[in-house]
Amino acid sequence: MWEFVDIYSIRYLGLTEKSPLFFLYCGLGAALGVFAANVGQLALVYGVSALHHAAEKQPLPATGLFKAGAQFSFFLAAAAFCSGFAWQPLMNVLTRLADLTASGPGHYIFHGPDNVSNHVVTQREDNNARFFVVLFGLWLLDGLVYFIGSQAFRAVLSFGLAWDAVEPPLKRSSLLYDGTLAISVGACAGSFYCVDAQNALTSHFDVHPQTSLLMAAFLGGIANLIGFILAQGVQNVLLPPNTSWADLRVRGRRSEVMRALDQPLGPYRPPCA
């Protein structure tokens, strides 16, 4: 979703990669993608459970589940907005710094107006040192932005709006959840740079002016997925049980969700992160 909004904003809205409005749209694109994915998953699980209860002629599962799930999905989307908003300005700064610190600056190639719009598209060919400076810089800094945004929105949603589905900040469980998830989100941010880097190591992910909007979104999604799987896989191997966000989510939220789906309408305690 981020890459879709990115390319659409440049090609059809005439925005530049240094425009604050462009940063805003990219943040909204990331938030929308996360919210839709989480609510879609929740609706699918709830729908299957409702069909099962109907087939067994049992009362429908508690509807409070969906409200709590939507609240938690909004929280995840708000944190994703922070990460998506910060990605482009962070990349702009890191590429500038990399030009000064890497073994050599990137080679700039100016492509004429593409066949989709009249906007001139600039692409870069990075040397390997420059590429890794930007990639790991994005991993660290964008992950940090995600973590800070997560804790900030926990305070707003749990204290300000009294949402029971969102655990308060600065608790051991919420710090572990947001911190370990931020590592994987940061890896997504770093690997996403592959679609912009124009580096020989990542040539399969290059997005050119002739690349269609849907193909650009697909390549961006694959780059994100690779970074997430690699970072999460390392966490799954190295971290002890009940310290990763995935363990905490299963133990604290999904187990609650599955138990709630098996219960008829009645008192409901919303799940926490």
In sequence order, what DSSP letters do the residues of 39-103 get, joined into one string? Answer: HHHHHHHHHHHHHHHHHTT-PPBPTHHHHHHHHHHHHHHHHHHHHHHHHHHHHHHHHHHHHHHSS
Assess whether pLDDT exceeds 60 at residue 262: no
Residues 79 and 150: beta-carbon distance below 8 Å: yes
Q: CA-CA distance, 84 to 107, in Å (whole number)?
A: 26
pLDDT of residue 110: 37
* Per-residue confidence band for 273, with pLDDT thresholds at 50, 70 and 90: very low
- On the CB side of 174, CA atoms within 13 Å amount to 20
Sign of CA dihedral 241, 246, 252, 261: negative
pLDDT of residue 246: 85
- pLDDT tens per residue across span 129-185: 788 889 999 999 999 999 999 999 999 999 999 998 899 999 999 999 999 999 999
Q: CA-CA distance, 155 to 237, in Å (whole number)?
A: 31
- The mean of the pLDDT values for the chain is 80
61 phi and psi angles, rounded to 5 deg: -65, 165
pLDDT of residue 63: 65
Q: In 3D, which of 140, 240, 252 has the Cα closest to residue 190? A: 140
pLDDT of residue 164: 87
Task: Give CA torsion, residues 196, 210, 85, 127, to 10 deg.
Answer: 10
**Which residue type is seen at 37?**
A
Q: CA-CA distance, 179 to 44, in Å (whole number)?
A: 28
Domain extents in the chain: 2-106+138-261
Mean pLDDT score, 244-260: 57
Q: Considering the chain, what percentage of its residues have pLDDT values greater than 70?
A: 77
Mean pLDDT score, 62-68: 73
Look-up: residue for tokens 């308060």? 168
Q: CA-CA distance, 157 to 166, in Å (whole number)?
A: 7
Q: CA-CA distance, 241 to 30, in Å (whole number)?
A: 29
Beta-ladder partners of 125: 107
The answer to whether the pTM exceeds 0.85 is no
Q: CA-CA distance, 36 to 206, in Å (whole number)?
A: 27
> Which carries the bigger pLDDT value, residue 180 or residue 265?
180
Q: CA-CA distance, 141 to 159, in Å (whole number)?
A: 27
Each residue of 243-252: b (16+ CB within 10 Å) or e? bbbbbbbeeb
Residues 61 and 46: beta-carbon distance below 8 Å: yes
Mean pLDDT score, 246-263: 51
Assess whether pLDDT exceeds 60 at residue 5: yes
State in Å, rounded, how far the first CA of the chain is from the last one. Answer: 24
